[in-house]
Amino acid sequence: MNKPDVLPVWADAQPICIAGEWRLGQGNTYATHYPATGEVVATLNAASPDDVEAAIQGAQKAFETSGWAQRKPHERAAVLYRIAQLIREKAEHLAQLQRLDNGKPINETRALVASAAGTFQFFASACETLEDTITPSRGDFMSMSVYEPMGVVAAITPWNSPIASEAQKMAPALAGGNAVVVKPAEITPLMALELARICDEAGLPKGLVSVLPGKGSVIGDLITRHPLVRRVSFTGGTSVGRHIAGIAADKFMPASLELGGKSPTMVLEDADLDHAVAGVLYGIFSSSGESCIAGSRLFVARAVYDEFLSRLVAGAKQLRVGDPADESTQMGPLISDSHRASVERYVKIGVEEGGRVLCGGQRPAGELYEKGSYYLPTIIEGLDNSKTICQEEIFGPVLVVMPFDNIDDLVEQANDSVYALAAGIWTQDYKKAWSLAKAVKAGNVWINTYKVFSISTPFGGWRDSGLGREKGRQGILQYMEQKSVYWGMNEQPLPWAGV
């Protein structure tokens, strides 16, 4: 397949979606850039505070007057199925645009687009099969538990996997009958705008979706604080998540927060080393390590430490770092030069604290890499778990490897983190695997695999990795209010005050 030319996708400033109206934002004009070359992909005007107000007021009006919330579940589901179908029909366009938006390899962006389509399809199914509950009676009445939409909800999404993250928030929110105001990452707004266009084409009532690009500290804050916003779902850094949680607490507003991670991967003495090497490499270096669930801390049983590490380093050196448009590429560039500089600072700190760089630790050389934000897959050993790069999220292709002597030692080190998002276990002993999976503190545990997902399975973290869950059949209920209804069945008046 010929590699597409990397040229600006749009020459003129692009409109944004404000309560169903496509017009230029009133905020500052800025450009998005292709991380592989630094070229401009698109220019657009950010949303302004007035745009935020217009979007939220318009969303509330659409929620109240469009009839979306009152449609039968199967009728809402039909629109969501159509959205999924359109995503699949436009899959290659969306995948190429996602590649330009954040520099992920094309095969990875194709998988993300497929995931987004599957998400809308799943929540369409969840919507039309969602059941209210008749609860056990405790008297002369029938009691029910029912669910109703909240109103206007906010979705604040990250730059590392835009279309998948946006689908995971938009699909259940719309399925639940709500209006959604989306705040994409400032530097990767294109996928959210494309999804809004697809929603229009699919027949979603006008005004139910808005997309407001801009700085999170301004636009995201305004959206979260707005009194008409009934819920916020945020994916991003822990410090911002903590700030949003504070706002939500002041408003008595529920929030879902998928935050950072420093996930441990554990290779036991009896592991299948071929599988473990491949899984560990994939867990940390796919997506260039720019993933909250990246397996960035590796603990290896001392008995197999040297052999495993030798094979791991050899495998890392063979990874194909290059042009995201090339279908053989396994690792593309980092999102920006500034983020690469942050990764480089962490590696420098690791060396200063006594770490030994076994591979990587620098930018790749060659003409292909001169303009892009590339960094080589990096493996460091010689540090204990208390060191900076073992405790702080780097969000890049940097793996720290440490030996362990026994299971108690392993569990103690694995759980020695403020984060608790994910963990990986490699062993052929199912009893050890189950025991370790229960002992490790993490919202998601993979056994003899890593970084595989199912939209039908809840996802989220503990501790500083967040609150709440996305995905799963119950995910739709995160965007609905629960109401209890009692039907009196008594033949006589309530025995009150002698009546």
Tell me which residues are annotated as active site. Answer: 258, 292
Q: How far apart are CA 375 and CA 340, in angstroms?
A: 7
Q: What are 152's strand-pairing partners?
A: 179, 229
The values of phi and psi at residue 253, to 5°, are -110, 130
- Note the Cα 12 to chain centre separation in Å: 30
Spatial CB neighbours of 123, under 8 Å, sequence gap ≥ 6: 80, 171, 172, 174, 175, 475, 476
Q: How far apart are CA 235 and CA 470, in angstroms?
A: 10
Q: Do the strands 264-267 and 40-45 form a parallel or antiparallel pair, or are they unpaired? A: unpaired
- 99, exposed or middle or buried, with CB in 10 Å at 0-12, 13-18, 19+? buried
In the chain, the amino acid numbered 173 is: A
Q: How far apart are CA 8 and CA 172, in angstroms?
A: 33
End-to-end CA distance of the chain: 83
Q: How far apart are CA 386 and CA 396, in angstroms?
A: 19
- Note the Cα 110 to chain centre separation in Å: 16
Q: How far apart are CA 164 and CA 115, in angstroms?
A: 6
Q: How far apart are CA 347 and CA 356, in angstroms?
A: 10
Q: How far apart are CA 100 and CA 122, in angstroms?
A: 27
